Amino acid sequence: MADPSTSPPLTRASVQAALKLIEPYVHKTPVLTNTSLNRLASAPRTAAELEGTEWAGQTPAKPVLRFWFKCENLQKIGAFKARGAFHAIERLKLEPGWEENGGRERGVVTHSSGNHAQALAFAAQTSRIPCHIITPHSSSRAKISAARDTYGAHITFSGPTHPERQAVCDAVAAQTGARFVPPYNHPDIILGAGTAALELQAQFFASPNNNSGRRRLNAIITPCSGGGLLSGTALSCEGTGILVFGAEPSYQGADDARRGFYSGKRIEFVKSETIADGLRTPLGEIPWGVIYERRLVKGMYSVGEEQIKAAMRLVWERMKLVVEPSAVVGLAVALYNEEFRRMVEVEGGEEGWDLGVVFSGGNVDLEKVADLFA
């Protein structure tokens, strides 16, 4: 991958430049609204619904929410990851001497549980570059099958933790000479990921549902794993007045970014089997710098497994969209996390908030979906 020192600065202008670079290769995904979900989010939860939670016995929050869903589940390869992968490949091709020194023949390598694997494999295939993927044995079969069978990647399996993935990745890179393209911890990946939220901002203001452009987008919430999408989103909103929030699963400590954000220390190790399989990775060092050190993210929130499943079911049933569990964690926060909902109630008042929600992907195993909804 291109040397980070040669990457553009982490600014909103660089996200805008990244969008111009990748526009020929990615979809401008739609932004959808849904009256039914707006009503659900704007209705206070019942005492019975809060029973057994940390908010039991409290007066339910009464936020007013209008959702704007950025449907990256309809992106090429079914996830926002295509944006970062294409930006990384296009930046690599611009590196002086890369092709002359055999870079094209040696190819690229990465580790991923699925979506980044497909994205890099597709971007590499588009430029006729070999691609090596290191992935845990527990990864989604649908995602790995797509990377291997559809996009021609060479697959090597590893253990589930980040150190195990990275060790195998380093070995393959040493053997093949392939250039490592990290799934999130690189400026080029971050800037590419941020283009989704940049599009969302423009689509919101141009939408006929925006009362002739008189309302403003108050905030955007995205899932957070390694932090590429969240930090890129934060960069795209810098200086606009749009607040940015991160969402994570709480199961088995998968909310490492939230815990690190409020303790002031990045957590470097996570081992969780949350159903949101794309969010099992610890927050990277470079995204941490954007999210926490530069204070470009307003807050971090988490939800449980049942809440993620409930939000996923609502999207499938009410919006007729195929989304994966990782994609709906932000929506689940807005629907079920009383801390977030009370904050919206206080800050939004009677007018409420227009909230952008990034659906990060839609790659699921249908067999697993049947089990989730059984």
Strand, coil or helix: 155: strand
65-71 and 31-32 as β-strands: parallel, antiparallel, unpaired?
antiparallel
| Beta carbons of 114 and 137 less than 8 angstroms apart | no
Active site residue: 113, 140, 225, 236, which one? 113
- Give the whole-angstrom CA distance, residue 273 versus residue 169: 21
Q: What is the largest CA-CA distance in the chain?
A: 67
| Beta carbons of 79 and 277 less than 8 angstroms apart | no
- Give the whole-angstrom CA distance, residue 268 versus residue 168: 18
Bridge partners, 357 (sequence order): 69, 221
| Beta carbons of 300 and 193 less than 8 angstroms apart | no
Active site residue 113: yes
| Beta carbons of 315 and 321 less than 8 angstroms apart | yes
- Give the whole-angstrom CA distance, residue 174 versus residue 109: 10
Nearest to 335 by CA among 344, 326, 323, 346: 344
Active site residue: 70, 76, 81, 143, which one? 81
| Beta carbons of 119 and 85 less than 8 angstroms apart | yes
Tokens of residue 23, six digits: 């526009």
| Beta carbons of 356 and 68 less than 8 angstroms apart | yes
Bridge partners, 157 (sequence order): 135
Q: Catalytic residue positions?
A: 81, 113
